[in-house]
């Protein structure tokens, strides 16, 4: 590959593109431990073995492809995830995995000599689309999620995570922290499509991450009384949909006041009949802010409002925090090293950007030095089929990643 062609990137991208794409929506449905996820994982294994890399699956189901001996330690690792949100875009996750293999191909073409072990990783269940908790693979590895907690995770059909893993051919009893594996890694660099338009606006193809906003997910259960939609007087109703709807509006207000974001993007209703007042409305809040104080203010404000709306309608309310990720400040030395490599070895300018999106690199940053590269997304849209990156920018991302890996791992 030269600085102008796509090398192996385009072929890999074409192979992966049809897997899990829904014909009607055009979005991806690659959910953890599903058959489609299995197809993505088979693709990863093929890429690893075709390159003569040592393929392994760790105790938490994350896939690794090693060049060199991991036992030597101080390894440089790159990669991302292959799963998606419901009707997600093609780039969130896969761009980092495909670029990792393409960057390795590029380095081999350059005749690079590695003096640190190198690995490419696909972290399992990053999006949490099926079991509700994001970054399960990396959280387990980093000891931020226990086996017992993971075993209790259940999907919308009542299938538990251990049963789903088992059905996919993995051993759910083996899951748990993996400090020995992390101790062998000196740096993790995740390339990711940008989930915003900062690079588009600045006119840059590639950027470096500075920080990830603190973020979490909260489940709100509004329980009222099911009754006939035609015969129940308005005054006699205990309708949880009303308190839920008012809470959604309160979330928007609170987020605006704090300069944060708050989203109710998923809801289930029981009994879910068009002519029945609901007995239960369960909504999931995703909220994120630049700092912890703002996030606490937003979520506290929403909870308070929700309780008063529930009281006003004679509805019971339970609020459960299902996950939380504190602010991540990426390793400064590694970040500066990336900026130095990209600033001196290429003609790229490299803006340093914060993000409201969570990543496995953020989870691992508590255990090992991590960094991220972002590739321009002209729509700025993510978690939607409209997510995009141009072929030229993807190639620029591969070359930037290759430069970074060469700078970190080669003599």
Instruction: List interacting residues with ligand HGY (CB under 6 A).
Output: 126-127, 134, 357-358
Smaller CB distance to ligand HGY: residue 36 or 76? 36
* Tokens coding 81: 């995830």
CA gap 385, 85 in Å, rounded: 10
* Closest separation in Å from C-beta 73 to Mn ion: 27
221 binds, among Mn ion, ligand HGY, none (CB under 5 to 8 A by kind): none
186 neighbors 116 (Cβ within 8 angstroms): yes
Helix (H) or strand (E) holding 153: none
Q: Does 92 sit near Mn ion (CB under 5 A)?
A: yes
Say if residues 372 and 394 touch (Cβ distance below 8 Å).
no
Which residue number places its CB atom closest to Mn ion? 92
Residue number with the shortest CB distance to ligand HGY? Answer: 358
Q: Give dist(CA 10, CA 77) in Å, integer.
A: 22
93 interacts with, out of ligand HGY, Mn ion, none, CB within 5 to 8 A per kind: Mn ion
358 interacts with, out of Mn ion, ligand HGY, none, CB within 5 to 8 A per kind: ligand HGY
Shorter beta-carbon distance to Mn ion: residue 92 or 204: 92
Selection from Mn ion, ligand HGY, none that 331 binds (CB < 5 to 8 A by kind) is none
Instruction: Give the nearest distance from C-beta 374 to ligand HGY in angstroms.
Output: 13
Q: Does 93 bind Mn ion (CB under 5 A)?
A: yes
Least Å distance between CB 126 and ligand HGY? 6
Name 22's Cβ contacts closer than 8 Å, sequence gap at least 6: 28, 29, 87
Q: Quickly list DSSP for 92-126.
A: TTHHHHHHHHHHHHHHHHTT--BSS-EEEEEES-S
Choose the one of ligand HGY, Mn ion, none that binds residue 134, judging by a C-beta under 5 to 8 angstroms depending on kind.
ligand HGY
Instruction: Output the smallest distance, CB 269 to ligand HGY, in A.
Output: 23
Closest to ligand HGY by CB, 29 or 238: 29
Binding region for Mn ion (CB under 5 A) out of 54-62, 91-99, 252-260, 270-278: 91-99
CB neighbour list of residue 380: distance below 8 Å, 6 or more residues apart: 194, 195, 196, 197, 200
Q: How many CB atoms lie within 10 A of CB 233?
A: 7
Q: If you write DSSP's letter for every residue of 179-226 in order, what string do you get? A: HHHHHTEEEEEEEEE-SSSHHHHHT-SEEEEEEE--EEEEEEEEE---
Judged by beta carbon, residue 73 or residue 156, the one nearer ligand HGY is: 156
The length of the chain in residues reads: 411
Distance of closest approach, residue 355 Cβ to Mn ion, in angstroms? 10
CB of 370 to Mn ion, least distance (A): 14
Residue 96 binding target from Mn ion, ligand HGY, none, CB below 5 to 8 Å by type: none
- Smallest separation, CB 360 to ligand HGY (Å): 9
Residues 207, 198 contacting (CB under 8 angstroms): yes
CB 362, CB 218: distance < 8 Å? no
Smaller CB distance to Mn ion: residue 117 or 128? 128
Which residues bind to Mn ion, rule: CB under 5 A?
92-93
């Amino acid at each position: 590959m030269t600085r102008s062609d796509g090398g192996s990137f385009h072929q890999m991208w074409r192979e992966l593109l049809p897997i899990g794409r829904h014909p009607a929506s055009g979005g991806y449905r690659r959910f953890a431990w599903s058959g489609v996820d299995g197809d993505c994982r088979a693709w990863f294994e093929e890429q690893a073995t075709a390159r003569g890399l040592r393929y392994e699956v760790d105790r938490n189901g994350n896939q690794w492809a090693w060049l060199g001996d991991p036992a030597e330690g101080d390894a440089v690792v790159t990669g991302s995830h292959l799963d998606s949100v419901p009707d997600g875009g093609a780039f969130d996750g896969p761009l980092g995995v495909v670029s990792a293999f393409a960057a390795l191909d590029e380095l081999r073409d350059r005749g690079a000599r590695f003096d640190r072990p190198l690995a490419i990783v696909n972290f399992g269940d990053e999006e949490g689309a099926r079991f509700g908790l994001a970054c399960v693979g990396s959280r387990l590895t980093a000891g931020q999620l226990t086996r017992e907690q993971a075993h209790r995770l259940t999907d919308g059909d009542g299938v538990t995570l251990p049963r789903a893993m088992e059905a996919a051919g993995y051993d759910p009893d083996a899951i748990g922290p993996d400090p020995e594996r992390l101790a062998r890694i000196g740096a993790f660099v995740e390339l990711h499509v940008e989930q915003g338009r900062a690079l588009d606006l600045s006119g840059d193809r590639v950027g470096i991450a500075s920080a990830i906003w603190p973020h979490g997910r909260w489940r709100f259960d509004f329980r009222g009384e099911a009754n006939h939609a035609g015969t129940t007087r308005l005054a006699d109703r205990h309708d949880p949909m009303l308190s839920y709807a008012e809470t959604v509006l309160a979330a928007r207000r609170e987020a605006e006041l704090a300069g944060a974001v708050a989203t109710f993007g998923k809801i289930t209703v029981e009994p879910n009949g068009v002519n029945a007042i609901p007995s239960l409305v369960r909504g999931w809040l995703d909220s994120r802010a630049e700092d912890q104080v703002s996030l606490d203010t937003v979520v506290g404000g929403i909870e308070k409002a929700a309780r008063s709306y529930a009281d006003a309608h004679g509805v019971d309310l339970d609020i459960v925090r299902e996950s939380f990720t504190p602010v991540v400040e990426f390793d400064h030395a590694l970040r500066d090293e990336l900026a130095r490599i990209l600033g001196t070895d290429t003609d790229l300018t490299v803006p340093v950007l914060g993000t409201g999106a969570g990543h496995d690199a953020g989870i691992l940053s508590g255990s090992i030095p991590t960094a991220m590269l972002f590739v321009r997304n002209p729509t700025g849209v993510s978690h939607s089929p409209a997510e995009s990156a141009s072929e030229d920018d993807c190639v620029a991302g591969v070359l930037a990643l290759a430069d970074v890996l060469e700078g970190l791992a080669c003599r």
